[in-house]
Amino acid sequence: MTSMISMLNMISMLNMISMLNMLNMHRLVLATILLFVLCPSTVSHADDAADKAKLVATIKGAIGADAVRADIAALSSDEMGGRFFRSPFAEKAAKWVQVSMETIGIAPGASSDSFRQLIDKNPESGPNIIGVMTGSGDGFIIISAHYDHLRPRRTGTDKIFNGADDNASGIAGMLAVARAMKACTAAGNGPACTIIFIAFNGEEAGLLGSRAYVKSPTVPLGKIRGVFNMDMISRGPPRQIFIDGGAVGLPVVDALKAANESIGLKLRLDEHPDWLDRSDQGPFLARRVPAVLFSVEDHEDYHQVSDEVGKVDAGLASEVAQLVALAAINLSRSPFVERENVKPSTPEQPPIGAEKIVPTPAPATPVAPTPVAPTPVAPTPVAPKS
C-alpha cells in the first residue's frame, strides 16, 4: 500500500513538472510572438545589419589593389601613346575600355548594340564609351572617368605622357566598381536601379565628352540620381580623397558619408569650389544633376611625362572604388523623385582648345574717289620746218 501511494505521488509530480514545462514552452512561444509583433524594428535592424555586412564584404572581396594596378598599367603604358583625344591612340584606348567592359559583362549603353558615342564631327576624335547594367528601380546612376590625356612631346628621351594618375586611375576605379556591382548582383545584393558607366574622351581638351553627353544624353537628365566622377584618385596622402560637388552634389555626398562608415577613408569634402567645373562632373552640375568629383590635389607629376604607374597608390584607388560602389548601391535603393530638366544657369563656355570661329567682316561701304586736279604739263617745243 505504501509503495502504491509513493508511486501515485511520483506520477502526480511528473505530471506537474510536465505541465510546468508546457507552460514555460507556451510562455517562450508567446514571448517570441510578442517580440515580432511589438518590436519588429529589432528584427528588421538585425536583418539590415546582416545584409549590410554581406554587401560590404562582397564589395571589398571584388575590388583589390592588384587588379586596379594592372588596369592602370595597361592604360598608361607607352603603347597607348599618351591617349591624346584626337589621335589613333584615343581610338586604341577607347577599344581597350570597351573590351574591358564586355569582359566584365557590361552591356552596350550608347545604343542597344553600341558602346560608342561621338563627341564631335571630327573623325579623328575618339568616342565616349558607354556601358550599362540594367536595373528595375526608378532613376539612373552614372559612374564615370575620362580616358584621354596628352599628345607626346616632340623632344626629350621620354616623350610619352603616360597619365597613370591622370586618369588611368579613374578608369581603373570605374571598371573596379563595375566588377563589384556584378559580384553583388550575383550574390542577390546588387543595385536597384540602372547603372551607367561612361568613359569620357576629350576632358583634357575642355570637357568635350561630357558636354556631348549632356547635350545628347542616353537617359533624361532629370532621371539621373547622381554622378560619381573619378579623376586622379591614386596619389597624395594615404587613405585620403577630396570630394567636391557643392550644393547640387549634396545628395551624392550624403550617400558617400554614410557609406564611408564601412570603408574608413579620410574624406576632404567641398574644399575646392574651383574644381566644380574642372572635370566631367561640371556639365552635369550646370544642369542641376547631383554630381561629385573624386580627386587628389595636383602633384609634382601632374601633366608631366613622369606620371607613371610606379608612383600610384593602387590601394587608395581601390578603396575609393569600394566607397563609390557601396554609396551608389545604397543611393539606388533610396526614394527618388524625378527632377525637371534644367538648362545651364550660365551659358557654357566654349571648350578649351576648340576651334574659334572668326566672323567674316562686313564689306566696306564704297567711297567715291576724291577728284585730283591734273598736273599741268609743259608743251614740248616743236622745231620750225626749215
The DSSP code for 109 is -
Q: Please state the rounded mean pLDDT for residues 358-364.
A: 38
Question: Counting beta carbons within 10 angstroms of the beta carbon of residue 360, is it exposed (0 to 12), middle (13 to 18) or buried (19 or more)?
Answer: exposed
For residue 117, the number of C-alpha atoms closer than 13 Å in the C-beta half-sphere is 27
Q: Hey, what's the cell of 366?
A: 564704297
pLDDT at 14 over 90: no
- Indicate the pairing of strand 194-200 with strand 116-117: unpaired
What CATH class has 65-332? alpha beta
The residue among 381 and 97 whose pLDDT is bigger is: 97
Distance separating alpha carbons of residues 353 and 93, to the nearest angstrom: 21
Of the pLDDT bands very low, low, confident and very high (cuts 50, 70, 90), residue 154 is very high
Angle at 73 between CA 102 and CA 229, to 5 degrees: 65
- Torsion, Cα 329 200 252 104, to 10 degrees, reads 10
Distance separating alpha carbons of residues 236 and 300, to the nearest angstrom: 11
pLDDT at 45 over 90: no
The residue among 172 and 14 whose pLDDT is bigger is: 172
On average, the pLDDT of the chain sits at 85
Residues constituting the chain: 386
pLDDT for the residue 47: 73
Q: Please state the rounded mean pLDDT for residues 140-148.
A: 98
325 to 70, 178, 219, 379: CA distances (angstroms): 19, 8, 21, 101
Which pLDDT tens digit goes with each residue over 248-272?
999 999 999 999 999 999 999 999 9
The residue among 225 and 378 whose pLDDT is bigger is: 225
